[in-house]
Amino acid sequence: MKALQVERIIKNFGDKTAVNGLSFEVSQGEIYGLLGANGAGKTTTMRMILGLILPDEGDIRYAGKAYSNEQLSMLGYLPEERGMYPKIKVSDQIIYLAQLRGMSRKDADQNLKRWLDKFQVPEYYNKKVEELSKGNQQKIQFIAAVIHNPRVLILDEAFSGLDPVNVELLKSTVKELRDGGTSIVFSTHRMEHVEELCRNITIMHKSNPVLQGPIKEIKKKFPQERVVVASEGDISGLENVAGVVNVLRHEHGGYELKVDDPQAGQRILQHALAQGPIKRFEVLEPTLNEIFIKTVGENHE
Ligand SMILES: Nc1ncnc2c1ncn2[C@@H]1O[C@H](COP(=O)(O)OP(=O)(O)OP(=O)(O)O)[C@@H](O)[C@H]1O
C-alpha cells in the first residue's frame, strides 16, 4: 500500500493549465523529489495533495483512502513562502497549530520542547518569532510542519536561507523522519540535495511531467560527458584528443574533460598511459543538475 498516490491529476485556472496529467506514488518512508523550473506546477500539485484546492480531474489517495478530515491531521506542510506570526510567541503559535491538527495541548507542548531541544534552542519557547533570525525562524517553521507527527510531509525549499551547519541539521532530521516511516514530498531547486535525499523523482516542465523514475535509472539514459584523468607523467595536450570538447578543470596534475563521444574515454586513457602511470581515471555519470538543465533548459522562458 503506497502512502501517497497521485493519479493523472489535472488543474486548470481559467484557460491556464497549471498541472496536466501528473501521476506518481510515494512509499512509506520514502523521500520523493518533485522538481521543475519556476511556474512548472509544483506548488499547485502540493496544494492539491494538501487538500487546499481540488484537482479538476484525477485522484489523490492517502494510504489507499480518499481525502477527508482524517487526512488533514496526517499531512504536514512547510511552504516556500514562510508564514509565522511575528508578534506571537513561538510556543503559542506552534501549540495552536498542532491543536488545529487534532493534537492535545499537553502532547503538543511536549513535542515542541523535544524539537526545540533537538535543535538546541530551548530558549525559543518563550520568544516572539520576530526576535529570531531568518534562519532560526525557518527552523521554527519546520517544527510547525512536523509537530503533529504527520505521515505525509511536504517540504518546499526546506533548506533555503539556512547556513551550512543548519542545512546539515535539517537534512539529517529529514532522513530521521524518513527512517521513522514518514513519506516526504521534497521540492527544491537545489539538485545536490535531491541527489542526496531522493531515490525517485518527477521533473515537471510547463505543467507536464517530463521525466520520472529512479534517479539511478534516469542517469543511465543521459550520456556521460565528463572524464577525469590524472597521471604521474605530463599529460598536457589532452584537448587535442578526438572527442574532447574542452578542459573543464585542471589542478594538481589532474584533468576534468568535457567529451562528446562515448569512445573519447578510451582515447584519453591511451594518451595518458603513453605518458606514465595513471593515478586516476573515471568516466563520470551526469549530475542531476546537468540532467535538469538539459530537460527543462530548452524552450525555457
Ligand atoms: N491561483 C492561480 N490562478 C491562476 N494561475 C495560477 C494560480 N496558481 C498557479 N497558477 C499558474 O499555474 C502555473 C504553475 O504555478 P505553480 O505555482 O504551481 O508553479 P511552481 O512550479 O510551484 O513554480 P515556482 O518554482 O516558481 O514556485 C503558473 O503558470 C502559475 O502562474
286 alpha carbon – ligand 1 mean position (Å): 29
pLDDT of residue 262: 87
CB 132: neighbour CB atoms within 10 A? Answer: 18
In the predicted model, is pLDDT for residue 300 greater than 80? Answer: no
Q: Which three cell numbers stand for residue 257?
A: 574533460
pTM of the prediction? 0.89
Distance between CA atoms of residues 235 and 273, nearest Å: 9
Q: Do 2-219 and 223-284 come out as alike in CATH topology?
A: no
Pocket-testing residue among 11, 13, 300, ligand 1, by greatest number of atoms within 8 A of Cβ? 13
Whether CATH 3.30.70.980 fits 223-284: yes
Name which residue sits closest to atom 11 of ligand 1, judged by CA.
Answer: 18
DSSP reduced 3-state for 50: coil
- Domain edges within the chain: 2-219, 223-284
The domain defined by 2-219 folds into Rossmann fold (3.40.50)
20 alpha carbon – ligand 1 mean position (Å): 12
Facing residues of 249 across strands?
256
Summarised one tens digit per residue, pLDDT across range 258-288 is: 999 889 999 999 999 988 889 999 999 999 9
Name which residue sits closest to atom 25 of ligand 1, judged by CA.
Answer: 38
DSSP E strand boundaries for the chain: 4-13, 16-26, 31-36, 57-62, 75-78, 152-156, 183-187, 200-205, 208-214, 226-231, 244-251, 254-259, 278-284
How much is the average pLDDT of 198-210? 96
Distance between CA atoms of residues 57 and 182, nearest Å: 27
Q: Which three cell numbers stand for residue 245?
A: 570538447
Summarised one tens digit per residue, pLDDT across range 148-200 is: 999 999 999 999 989 999 999 999 999 999 999 999 999 999 999 999 999 99
Name which residue sits closest to atom 8 of ligand 1, judged by CA.
Answer: 44
Name which residue sits closest to atom 14 of ligand 1, judged by CA.
Answer: 41
The ipTM is 0.89
Summarised one tens digit per residue, pLDDT across range 47-95 is: 999 999 999 999 999 999 998 887 778 999 999 887 888 999 999 999 9
CB 230: neighbour CB atoms within 10 A? Answer: 17
pLDDT of residue 298: 65
Q: By the 8 A CB rule, do 23 and 55 touch?
A: no
Tell me the chain's radius of gyration from C-alpha atoms. Answer: 23
Name which residue sits closest to atom 18 of ligand 1, judged by CA.
Answer: 41
Q: What residues does ligand 1 touch, defined as CB less than 6 Å away?
A: 13, 16, 18, 36, 38-44
Q: What is the DSSP string of 119-181?
A: TT-GGGGGSBGGGS-HHHHHHHHHHHHHTT--SEEEEESTTTT--HHHHHHHHHHHHHHHHTT
- Atom number in ligand 1 closest to CA 43: 22
206 alpha carbon – ligand 1 mean position (Å): 10
61 alpha carbon – ligand 1 mean position (Å): 23
Distance between CA atoms of residues 4 and 26, nearest Å: 5
- Atom number in ligand 1 closest to CA 156: 27
